[in-house]
């Protein structure tokens, strides 16, 4: 690991640690409203100031970091499970099943990701609770983000399908399902790990864009996307309002530097 990658890993670790201590570092809850300090400028008590409801921006930013990082990682795991099933079946079975899944992957990849998210988000109930809308947003990212990793998994499974250890497992009487689950998929661990590190930044950016347009988690839950909405009102445009954008940029830059392939798919 290069020095640059090590520094990035340390910064990423610090960001994660700070977000996990979100309830203790600022000393107040992200939802607590201070009516005596609405839209306050940065001060010792409120290092990043407060929003128009008097909520501490630092507390909200740290909680948003925790929610966005953890749920983006969970969504990436969900997307990889779907991708492993679809890509594994397509690559291992071949034939018409492979053609159908490849066509579905092509179709998913041919639609702009944000448009697809907007369309599917609009199909869901309007009056969902804040927790439900938060979970739904990330579940959608997982449900729609499987196509790209599925293509990679399919290629990997096709490589292993006729390899010697698979032939030996078949010769020893393993069923096809067992061969796929116990012998082929475990060998794809490095590929799946690489796809995980690529998917997390993509999901973070997607949620940020979706939140900015008002289609992510509902109030009072802070996510990076929902915090960025403050930038939409020019009267509230202060340097400290760009803190969530800076947090996203630093985190994604660290992801890009920490991954050996440079995170070029971000």
Binding site for another protein (CB under 8 A): 103, 106-107, 110-116, 118-119, 121-127, 201, 205, 208-209, 212-215, 225, 228, 231-232, 234, 237, 245, 248-250, 252-253, 256, 262-264, 266
Between CA 203 and CA 133 the distance in angstroms is 16
Cis omega before residue 7 (within 30°)? no
Query: Whole-number minimum distance, CB 88 to another protein, in Å?
Result: 24
Query: Whole-number minimum distance, CB 101 to another protein, in Å?
Result: 14
User: DSSP state, 27?
Assistant: S
Query: Whole-number minimum distance, CB 16 to another protein, in Å?
Result: 17
Kindly tell me which of 52 and 176 has the beta carbon lying closer to another protein: 52
Kindly tell me which of 126 and 171 has the beta carbon lying closer to another protein: 126
* Of residues 111, 77, 68, the one with CA closest to residue 207: 68
Kindly tell me which of 44 and 126 has the beta carbon lying closer to another protein: 126
Length reported for the chain: 266
Between CA 8 and CA 225 the distance in angstroms is 23
Query: Whole-number minimum distance, CB 232 to another protein, in Å?
Result: 7
Query: Whole-number minimum distance, CB 223 to another protein, in Å?
Result: 12
Q: Residues 201, 68: contact at Cβ < 8 Å? A: no
Kindly tell me which of 18 and 231 has the beta carbon lying closer to another protein: 231
The burial class, CB within 10 Å (0-12 / 13-18 / 19+), for 250 is middle
Query: Whole-number minimum distance, CB 56 to another protein, in Å?
Result: 22
* Structure tokens, 32: 């607590």
* Of residues 79, 89, 76, the one with CA closest to residue 184: 89
Query: Whole-number minimum distance, CB 179 to another protein, in Å?
Result: 32
* Of residues 114, 137, 106, 142, the one with CA closest to residue 124: 137
Kindly tell me which of 194 and 250 has the beta carbon lying closer to another protein: 250
Kindly tell me which of 73 and 253 has the beta carbon lying closer to another protein: 253
Kindly tell me which of 112 and 186 has the beta carbon lying closer to another protein: 112
Which three-class secondary structure state does DSSP give residue 50? strand
Between CA 152 and CA 191 the distance in angstroms is 8
């Amino acid at each position: 690991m290069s020095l640059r990658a090590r520094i990035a890993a340390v910064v990423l670790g610090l960001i994660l640690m700070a977000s996990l201590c979100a309830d203790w570092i600022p000393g107040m809850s992200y939802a607590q409203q201070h009516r005596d300090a609405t839209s306050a400028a940065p001060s010792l008590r409120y290092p990043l100031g407060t929003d128009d409801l008097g909520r501490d921006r630092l507390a909200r930013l740290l909680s948003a970091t925790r929610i966005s990082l953890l749920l983006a990682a969970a969504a990436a795991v969900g997307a990889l499970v779907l991708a492993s099933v679809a890509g594994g079946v397509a690559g291992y079975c071949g034939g018409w099943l492979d053609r159908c899944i490849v066509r579905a992957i092509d179709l998913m990849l041919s639609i702009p990701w944000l448009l697809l998210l907007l369309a599917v988000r609009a199909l869901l109930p309007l009056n969902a609770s804040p927790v439900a809308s938060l979970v739904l947003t990330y579940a959608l990212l997982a449900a729609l983000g499987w196509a790209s990793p599925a293509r990679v998994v399919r290629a990997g499974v096709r490589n292993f399908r006729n390899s010697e250890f698979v032939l030996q497992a078949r010769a020893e009487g393993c069923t096809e399902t067992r061969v796929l689950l116990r012998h082929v998929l475990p060998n794809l661990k490095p590929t799946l790990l690489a796809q995980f590190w690529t998917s997390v930044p993509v999901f973070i950016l997607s949620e940020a864009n979706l939140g900015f347009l008002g289609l992510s988690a509902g109030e009072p839950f802070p996510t990076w996307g929902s915090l960025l909405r403050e930038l939409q009102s020019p009267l509230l445009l202060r340097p400290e309002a760009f803190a969530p954008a800076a947090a996203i940029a630093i985190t994604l830059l660290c992801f890009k530097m920490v991954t050996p392939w440079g995170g070029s798919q971000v």
